[in-house]
């Protein structure tokens, strides 16, 4: 599973990180780090929750 990060939509809500801190990395100002994320299998549930929790829809799940 890949999470595509639409960095320009991120407003720094950090809900993704609250759900899956091992998957979503925020920068010093609290914005998501740009770049697609290849999610390890054991993190998929947390990553899914995190992506769905983003109110800006900045995280798009691509499960192939």
Interacting residues toward ligand F3S by CB under 6 A: 10-16, 26, 32, 54, 56, 58-59
Q: Which helix (H) or strand (E) holds 60?
A: strand 59-62
**Nearest to ligand F3S of 27, 40 (CB atom):** 27
**Nearest to ligand F3S of 11, 45 (CB atom):** 11
Q: Are the C-beta atoms of 24 and 53 separated by less than 8 Å?
A: no
Residue 41 beta carbon to ligand F3S: minimum distance, rounded to whole angstroms: 22
CA distances in angstroms from 13 to 16, 17, 40, 63, 64, listed in the order given: 8, 9, 23, 24, 27
Residue 29 beta carbon to ligand F3S: minimum distance, rounded to whole angstroms: 10
């Amino acid at each position: 599973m890949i999470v595509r990060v639409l960095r320009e939509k991120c407003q720094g809500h950090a809900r993704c990180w609250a759900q899956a801190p091992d998957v979503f990395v925020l920068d010093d100002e609290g914005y998501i780090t740009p770049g697609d994320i290849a999610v390890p299998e054991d993190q998929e549930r947390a990553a899914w929750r995190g992506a769905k929790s983003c109110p800006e829809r900045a995280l798009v799940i691509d499960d192939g």
